Amino acid sequence: MSQQTPHLLQMLGQLIATPSVSSTTPEHDMGNLSVITLLAEWLNNLGFQTEIMPIPGYPGKANLIATLGKGPGGLVLSGHTDTVPCNEELWKSSPFSLTERDNRLYGLGTCDMKGFFPIAIEAARQFINTPLTAPLIILATADEESSMSGAQALVDAGKPKARYAVIGEPTDMTPIRMHKGMMMESIRITGRSGHSSDPSLGANALDAMHSVLSELVKYRNHLQKNYQHSSFSVNVPTLNLGCIHGGDNPNRICGQCELEYDVRPLPGMDLSLIREDISKRVRPIEDMFGVSIDCRPLFPGIPSFETAQNTSLVKMAEQLTGHSAEAVAFGTEAPFLQALGMETIVMGPGSINQAHQPDEFLALDQIKPTVEILTKLIQRYCVDIQGDASSA
Ligand SMILES: [Zn+2]
């Protein structure tokens, strides 16, 4: 059966040639179903049970859960199938054609992160005739680069269930056990416009925004005084005032003003509690200025994530790679897989420095070591492990 599944570089070539851009801008947004179908076909050929899970409310988008073996516990190797948009004119070769040059493989998604799938499949295909004591699951998600709707759909469905998960985002194969969360929020103030010569003719949204900004800065100080984490290079939670739009003319009372800001909470800080805090702090400003204040998320947010240092998977990954587990500054689907009950790390080939920019590449010399490390993880968590321990 396995000869129907192409070899590693052929698989990668086909994945790169199948565009699957996801974007919050509708004109750039595409489906990911053709990538999911390719992976499902290859994994089916190898004997995996495959389930394609459509994402509710996102036509043309789906997750894939491909399972070899059965029973509780087991290991998930996970990646996202979408890429960010690209500026094709800035690339030296087509982003949708896998191109080898200078011992590197160029193409959109080579490192972030279509390249992980052929590598994981290469490791997995060595086990197709081995009796597994716990299942091996290859998970492919939708929309990581835009809405995280794929990961959210998994949490909503309560699957897959496994004991361990490795997300192959580009970390140069350094195990990552924590990252900050990310929120993008807006505060819209609606007042009443009127002639500037008499303030009583309106309710000034900009005046009210001035107080909202002061509250946010006070709240930021409060957070940074109370939360620190030395593993991060910026060791406090951040709150960035990003943009503001309001009013139209100097001689009109400003009727409406909107602020957008971003918050990067540390592990252990809950997104919904932060939203509650902010809403409570700005609420009194409504009465003070006679305006209405609407606080809302611009997207559901990515929770922060931390897996303890002394867990089996972190220790195993440190031992296999020779690198101590670290923290990163970017968000991933890790908190979602963790919410499903899995001990989760982020570790994959390629560098985040090459992601999201022209001439994205995966260095050829990263492929073989990654296949070897994944093979050892599968051996440890799907073969050597006893069934009862894996379901703990
Ligand atoms: Zn990624």
Residue appearing with tokens 């990961």? 151
What 3-state DSSP class applies to 351? Answer: coil
Q: Which residue out of 82, 145, 306, 343 is catalytically annotated? A: 82
First to last CA, the chain: 34
User: Is the separation of the CB atoms in 184 and 331 below 8 Å?
Assistant: no
Ligand 1 centroid to residue 255 C-alpha, Å: 41
Ligand 1 centroid to residue 25 C-alpha, Å: 18
CA distance 327 to 86: 27
Q: How far is CA 48 from CA 43, 128, 139, 357, in A?
A: 5, 9, 12, 34
383 secondary structure, DSSP code: I
Neighbour-count burial for 9-38, b at 16+ CB within 10 Å, e otherwise: eebbbbbbebbbbbbeeeeebbbbbbbbeb
Q: What is the pLDDT of residue 387?
A: 53
Ordered mean pLDDT values, 10 residues apiece, the chain (392 residues): 78 98 91 98 98 96 97 97 96 98 98 98 97 97 94 97 97 97 97 97 98 98 97 95 96 97 96 98 98 96 96 98 94 97 98 94 98 98 74 41
| 156: number of Cβ within 10 Å | 11
Ligand 1 is an ion; its neighbours by CB within 5 Å are 112-113, 169
Ligand 1 centroid to residue 284 C-alpha, Å: 40
User: Is the separation of the CB atoms in 222 and 277 below 8 Å?
Assistant: no
Ligand 1 centroid to residue 176 C-alpha, Å: 14
Ligand 1 centroid to residue 112 C-alpha, Å: 5
Q: What is the pLDDT of residue 390?
A: 41
Residue appearing with tokens 């390629």? 350
Ligand 1 centroid to residue 144 C-alpha, Å: 7
Torsion angle defined by CA atoms of residues 357, 358, 364 and 368, in that order, rounded to the nearest 10 degrees? 30
Neighbour-count burial for 329-365, b at 16+ CB within 10 Å, e otherwise: ebbbbbbbbbbbebbbbbbbbbbbebbbeebbbbbee
* Known catalytic membership, residue 144: yes
Q: How far is CA 362 from CA 21, 97, 119, 172, 387, in A?
A: 18, 14, 12, 10, 36
* 156 Cα distance to chain centroid: 16
Q: Which residue out of 29, 112, 122, 144 is catalytically annotated? A: 144
The predicted model scores a pTM of: 0.90
Ligand 1 centroid to residue 93 C-alpha, Å: 21
* Known catalytic membership, residue 82: yes
Closest CA to 129 of 16, 47, 62: 47
Q: What is the pLDDT of residue 1?
A: 45
Ligand 1 centroid to residue 61 C-alpha, Å: 17
Ligand 1 centroid to residue 183 C-alpha, Å: 17
- Give just the sign of the alpha carbon dihedral 31, 29, 95, 114: negative
Closest CA to 161 of 340, 12, 288: 340
CA distance 238 to 329: 12
Strands (E), 113-232: 136-141, 164-167, 176-179, 183-190
Q: Which amino acid is at 322?
A: G
265 secondary structure, DSSP code: P
